[in-house]
Structure 1
Amino acid sequence: MKKYALSLLFLIAAGVAFAQQVRYYNFENTLNEVNGLSPALTILGEQGSFVLDTLNEVNQNTKTVYRFTKNSGLQFNNTAAGNFLGDNYTIEIYFVFDELSSWKRVVDWKNRKTDWGAYVYYGELNFYN
């Protein structure tokens, strides 16, 4: 019985050690991480605004959203977050463009120093490099 309990304890400890960590930003009138585990997002370019919007694409939910101006955005400072992001990570993001007449960058992996990133082009998601 002790061997079984010790094995179970080890499995629980191993699961906790390798559990996926999450950082959550909900844009409810702030760019701070909800749990205070990472730094606030940095504004790139012009400051946007928080507005109440109905998200037709997400069950007509009304949410506070952050609106960008052209060529502006937000940056997650991985160094300040203790190198939270490693080689493998997932980003869950909801976004809407006012118009889709050309390439629109959604995610930039190189701090605006290269064209690497995720783009929307006429309603389709594309990855460059």
Structure 2
Amino acid sequence: MFDETLFINEISKIEKKDDGSYIVIRNNIPCHIPYNDEYRQEYNAVEEYIKKNNIKVNTHIQKVYKIIDDNMEENIRSKRDELLKQADIMLMKYQEQVYLNVIEENNEYYTALLQYKQNLRDITKQLDFPDNVIFPVMPEYV
């Protein structure tokens, strides 16, 4: 489940590319948000946030050279692994609380957590990996 408020709150910088897509700094990681079906919710959330808050967005300047970061892929995988651990903790906490009748069972939330974990595992399959990676947002129990 996409949480627009959480997504926007994690963004610290927005730039627009010549092709209309955005480069955002989200949780200190640059992310490319193209205008396509896969990223439609994120793209629309950025557009709405810009309009609602009357933000002047700078044009993203494409570097002519590429800075080679030998650790970029390793750093992204490390962040992904840490998010997977956090998701495992949330999943165990949810299962324990349901079992103890602390909270009611919510199959939609449970499925969303499992899908979130799969989306994290699939990060390496993103088209621009490791240069531009969009991390999924962990679902919240409702």
* Band of TM-score, shorter chain: under 0.3
Q: Which has the larger radius of gyration?
A: 1
Query: Relative to total residues, which structure has the larger strand share, 1 or 2?
Result: 1
**TM-score normalised over the length of structure 1:** 0.25
**TM-score normalised over the length of structure 2:** 0.23
